[in-house]
Amino acid sequence: MCLAVPMKVTQIVGPNCTAEMSGITARVRLDLVPDVRVGDYVIVHAGYAIQRLDEQEALETLSLLDELSAHAAEE
């Protein structure tokens, strides 16, 4: 199973960016979404940003992922 996750763009250098989620940073390619700016949220899959995401939607998704993680830790 593959999972794409929302991440916040913190730095852009050429076709690459640094993106962050829950304190984890990753180098992400921006080839598929060239109009991204620092501060935007993107959906990241396999090291590529595949879509820009509305901030509210990104935060809701991240909150749900946190809830799932907390629930899994309880089991």
What does pTM read for this prediction?
A: 0.85
Task: Give the amino acid at 46.
Answer: A
| Type of residue found at 60 | E
State the pairing for strand pair 24-29/16-21.
antiparallel
> Of 2.30.30.140, 2.70.210.12, 3.30.720.210, 2.30.110.10, which CATH number belongs to 5-74?
2.30.30.140
**Would you place residue 37 in the very low, low, confident or very high pLDDT band (cuts 50, 70, 90)?**
very high
- List alpha helices for the chain, DSSP H: 55-74
- Predicted confidence band at 34 (pLDDT cuts at 50, 70, 90)? confident
